[in-house]
Copies of this chain bind each other. A is one copy, B any other.
Amino acid sequence: MTAAEHAEVRPSITTGPITGSRKHYTVTASGFRVPSRRIELSNGEHFDVYDTSGPYTDPDATVDVHKGLPRTRESWREGREHNTQLGWAKAGVVTPEMEFVAARERVDAEFVRSEVARGRAVIPANRNHPETEPMIIGKNFLVKVNANLGNSAVWSSVEEEVEKMVWATRWGADTVMDLSTGKRIHETREWILRNSPVPVGTVPIYQALEKVGGDPAKLSWEVYRDTVIEQCEQGVDYVTVHAGVLLRYVPLTARRVTGIVSRGGSIMAAWCLAHHKESFLYTHFEELCDILRAYDVTFSLGDGLRPGSIADANDRAQFAELETLGELTRIARERDVQVMVEGPGHVPMHKIKENVEREEELCGEAPFYTLGPLATDIAPAYDHITSAIGAAQIGRYGTAMLCYVTPKEHLGLPNRDDVKTGVITYKIAAHAADLAKGHPYAQDWDDALSKARFEFRWNDQFNLSLDPDTARAFHDETLPAEPAKTAHFCSMCGPKFCSMRITQDVRAYAEEHGLTSVEAIDAGMREKAKEFTDRGAQVYLPVVER
């Protein structure tokens, strides 16, 4: 089914550049056009940032959601139909996707290949999703952010979900997951896939459950298999599979404060107990590998027994499942299928590091993909913040992708504003992790904004921020006048009194007199003191009055 068959669906989507920046393309050796967002600065310099927004922010691109995005990667795959990124990487071949990703991450293509070959990074790119701009997920690359979308039985429409996808990638979502559980699951997914510039992930068990009327006991390998094939054919790039929820692990959750909170995990637990059989996801895992390999779809091994509260973090049920995920990771890799491993959830700060260490040890450094984790449970309505505190830290320790949490987590389904808040909050967590890991590009971005701040280049400061519109709007609340955007004072202190202004004068003075060392300052300062006092009289005259 194509988007065109749904002409009655009329999504209104957001297009046009983000304030203060424009689309910029770098052309690789093979002629691939790699996008970035170029921020032009008032001092004549510019700063390029990683761009996930696709053609929607390019005024020169024609966008028709009924036709879908251009199928750019279609031509790339010729002669490569029968192998995966992992397969080619093992064979020493640098694929077009690897070349594209290398330019995007500003690293060598051979390094990308070697990281994919050893399974420490994945490039989720279903060959039936040619609209996607290749990206890589791995601890030695920029930390990525996923945004969850999807309507449910109680709420939301196809149109809303398509705009949420465009909106989420506009603000920096590196992948999106369609978690729809209501009606029109296939149709919603079709609209998202044909229009998504980023990889799309799903949890096939949700649709399979709909097919059997919502009763997990009625699920079967056959129904699940057909659902996975349907989704792979459609172009889904990665699928969450809760194949680690084994019959013998289920009772380990009985004494938890919050039992099993993963939807997929609870469905499989119910099935296992109902039939007293081992999970069909586990017993048929090799067949599942064969299906995914045929499309180069990436596994995201789900943590169905992840903790749902601070009290349950790092318990036996969670780590027992992780061991099984490690076993499944090895099986998939042997079959050239790319693998990510999912992680918690709800974890107090002092137990975060252990999650990364165990995952790397048990799963051979497969890219770790965590939900938050929330560092406390007492702040529903602020769980984007409670979880960003955990996400930044787990990212610092090596987690490759962070699944965002919106302010509505635990309370309701996110609207468009919640999606933006969630994405920006998680870009902060991911970037803070990149900084702590010593990523040169991350440091450059902070330095560029800090320099603009110190030099009172207000518009540059706004444009270099993750959300230029809100930064400018907040400044306008206190100092709306346009001259204030170039004034040598900030709204915190006012014109008469500004620490940065004083500092600039102290600095200019120190530089002017070569007072850049402890020794220098003691040399002949006294006669220069008066001179400074004279200049000091000017210090407090705001530029706007000059």
Contacts and interface: CB of A to CB of B under 8 A. Distances in A.
A464 B410 CA distance: 14
B261 A500 contact: yes
Interface stretch (A16-24, A28-36, A56-64, A529-537): A529-537
A217 B504 CA distance: 16
B451 A516 contact: no
A310 B363 CA distance: 34
A543 interface: no
A153 B494 contact: yes
A280 interface: no
The winner among A466, A478, A479 for most chain B CB atoms within 10 A is A478
B251 A520 contact: yes
Given A350-B396, A389-B389, A154 B478 contact: yes
Interface in A290-335: 308-311
Contacts of A252: 518
A271 B391 CA distance: 44
Interface in A501-525: 502-507, 509-511, 515-518, 520-522, 525
The winner among A438, A496, A504, A515 for most chain B CB atoms within 10 A is A496
Contacts of A449: 377-378, 380
A386 B447 contact: no
Given A378-B449, A410-B453, A389 B432 contact: yes
A493 interface: yes
A266 B214 contact: no
Contacts of A506: 250, 253-254, 259-260, 266, 269-270, 273
Contact of A521 (B250, B309, B389): B250
Chain multiplicity (copies): 2
A416 interface: no
Contact of A446 (B273, B378, B522): B378
A163 B260 CA distance: 44
Contacts of A378: 428, 431, 445-446, 449, 464-466
Nearest to A275: B529
Interface in A145-202: 152-155, 181-182
A539 interface: yes
A311 B449 CA distance: 11
A257 interface: yes
Q: DSSP class of A's interface residues: helix, strand, loop or mixed?
A: helix
A379 interface: yes
A446 B347 CA distance: 11
Contacts of A462: 380
A392 interface: yes
A263 B492 CA distance: 10
A459 interface: no
Contact of A270 (B386, B410, B502, B522): B502
Contact of A382 (B273, B443, B467, B479): B467
A474 B396 contact: no
A257 B454 contact: yes
Contact of A467 (B255, B310, B379, B521): B379
A316 to B, nearest CB: 9
A408 interface: yes
A142 interface: no
B475 A532 contact: no
Nearest to A269: B506
Given A215-B536, A436-B348, A516-B251, A479 B388 contact: no
Given A499-B261, A499-B262, A471 B411 contact: yes
Nearest to A311: B447
A45 to B, nearest CB: 15
Contacts of A470: 381-382
Interface of A: 152-155, 181-182, 209, 214-217, 247-248, 250-255, 257-263, 265-267, 269-270, 273-276, 308-311, 348-350, 375-382, 384-386, 388-389, 392-393, 396, 407-408, 410-413, 415, 424-425, 427-429, 431-433, 435-438, 442-443, 445-447, 449-451, 453-454, 461-462, 464-467, 470-471, 473-475, 477-479, 490-497, 499-500, 502-507, 509-511, 515-518, 520-522, 525-526, 528-529, 532-533, 536-537, 539-540
27 contacts: A152-B493, A154-B478, A181-B497, A216-B502, A251-B521, A254-B506, A254-B511, A257-B450, A260-B499, A269-B502, A273-B506, A273-B509, A273-B529, A274-B536, A308-B454, A310-B446, A348-B432, A349-B436, A350-B436, A376-B446, A378-B428, A378-B464, A378-B465, A381-B470, A410-B492, A411-B474, A412-B477
Given A259-B454, A259-B504, 12 more contacts: A155-B491, A250-B515, A250-B521, A254-B516, A266-B499, A269-B506, A310-B447, A311-B446, A348-B436, A382-B466, A385-B425, A389-B389
- Top 6 A-B residue pairs of the complex, sorted by shortest distance between their CB atoms: A412-B478, A153-B494, A309-B450, A259-B503, A349-B436, A266-B502
